[in-house]
Structure 1
Amino acid sequence: TVLELGCGTGRNIILAARRYPDARFYGLDISAEMLETAGKAIDREGLSGRVVLARGDATDFDARALFGVERFDRVFVSYSLSMIPGWEKTVSAALAALSPNGSLHIVDFGQQEGLPGWFRALLRGWLKKFHVTPRESLREVLESESRRTGASFRFRTLYRGYAWLAVIKITS
């Protein structure tokens, strides 16, 4: 079972469902418009039987009430923490929704530390137009949550800091 928090238009959940045909997928988003778009895309791809969507807040959700599932083998968050107010609560909620031996996978905008200054400024300006704020403290928050839960933690910088990739694995 796989949950995507902030599933938006469904692009990533569709890619994941195609890649892992034996898994069941669940997508959560706060935007009814995004979910409508995602639902249509999922129908077009013939994945309605394996992908369930629900409207909810990624910082505070009840998976059992929304999906009839209490815990997930994987939870992923792809480029949406940078758009969620109180995003730290999303990390805690995601970890609480994991099954024993489950893992949380996060990719989001990094600090662009290896990019030329002019490009970084241009990119930041463009992201701001879409209410995207790269989370400077993402690594520290994830490390702290990993320690709190006794989970393992891996972190990688991608594309000269354009993005950050993190995996937190619950070990039971």
Structure 2
Amino acid sequence: MDRQTLSFLAHVDHPIAAPLSDSNVGRLLRQVGCSPGASVLDLGCGAGEWVLRALEEYPTARAFAVDTSEPALRRAEETTRDRGLRGRVIYAQGDAREYRPPKACDLVMCVGATHAFGGFEESLRAIDERVAPGGTVLIGEGFWERPPTRAALDALDAVPEDFQDLAGTVETAEKAGWTPVYGHVSELGEWDEYEWSWTGSLTRWALDHPEHPDAEAAIEAAREHRDGWLRGYRGVLGFVCLLLRRKQEHPPRA
């Protein structure tokens, strides 16, 4: 099974595709405070849940969204139609690093997709030119809740330098010229819901399609992921969503 299909199946029951509850997604989006007619950009949109929630929160907003996954984008188009939001969002299949919306946007989101740009700091640099003056960034990134164990690093195929602690993550954003105006740190229960949904969706698909040539591989992938989570990074890897804005430069007084 290719990676895109596996990820798509694993996120069917949790389309937010990050360890957050519905209520906390809503709280983050309400904190943005988009003006009427705002433009929204979602970099690494997956099945589109974040961008659709933003459009529902701000009924006059328009959006652009990009992802590499064909099955995820196909689901995004279907969900957009089912929720009566067609005509308000344009999806593109491609590399988020290369995608440029028609204009800089008032809200730019990149939740759980900083790997597309090579990391957190690199993502902030790439996002900068896509944000309109006075706009807001909503970015979701992993961080070490505590020093990573060898089991956690092995499960994540990571090295300690891949993430910082929470304070270091916020400091990196500030050094890049961004000012945090709000944030949410995922709670353990949100992580558990996300991971059980990830492994459960994939396993359920395999059990419902025993004749599929990838069924056994899907069960094994879910088992390996679950073991890495429970024996490795549970309680070690955290996740934070930050709302960031740039300080406005005032022209010199006459």
Please state which band the TM-score falls in when normalised by the shorter chain.
Answer: 0.7 to 0.9
C-alpha deviation, 1:108, in angstroms? 2.8
Q: Which has the higher contact order (CA 8 A, sep 6+)?
A: 2
SS of the residue corresponding to residue 84 of structure 1 reads helix
Q: Pick from 245, 250, 254: which aligns with 1:169?
A: 245
Structure 2 unmatched ranges of 5 or more: 1-38, 189-236, 250-254
Which TM-score applies when normalising by structure 2?
Answer: 0.51
Worse overlay, 158-167 or 92-101: 158-167
CA distance in 2: counterparts of 1:94 and 1:103, whole angstroms: 10
Q: 1:55 aligns with which of 93, 98, 105?
A: 93
Higher helix share: 2
> Could you give the per-residue CA deviations for residues 138-158 of structure 1, whole angstroms, max 9, x where no partner exists?
725423322xxxx42357461
Cα deviation, 1:33-90, whole Å, max 9, x if unaligned, reads 2211211111111111111111232223222xxxxx2210110112222x42513433
Which one of 31, 36, 43 corresponds to residue 5 of structure 1?
A: 43
CA 1:23–1:78: 2 relative to 1, 3 Å? same
1:100 aligns with 2:117: no
CA shift in 2, pair 1:105/1:40, >3 Å: same
Determine which of 168, 175, 181 is the counterpart of 1:144. Answer: 175
Matches within 5 A, 1:109-128: 109-113=142-146, 125=155
**Structure 1's 77 and 85: CA in aligned 2 closer, same or farther, altered over 3 A?**
closer
Question: Is the CA contact 1:58–1:93 (under 8 Å) kept in the aligned structure 2?
Answer: no
CA distance in 1, matches of 2:76, 2:125: 25
Instruction: Classify 1:168/1:85 alpha carbon distance in 2 versus 1 (closer, same or farther; 3 Å).
Output: closer
User: 1:71 is aligned with what amino acid?
Assistant: A
Matched with 1:21 is: 59
- Change over 3 Å in CA distance of 1:53–1:135 after alignment to 2: farther
Root-mean-square deviation (Å) = 3.2
The TM-score with structure 1 as length reference comes to: 0.72
Amino acid at match of 1:11: E
Flag the 1:55–1:112 CA change in 2: closer, same or farther, 3 A.
Answer: same
Q: Which has the higher strand share?
A: 1
Secondary structure, aligned partner of 1:62: coil
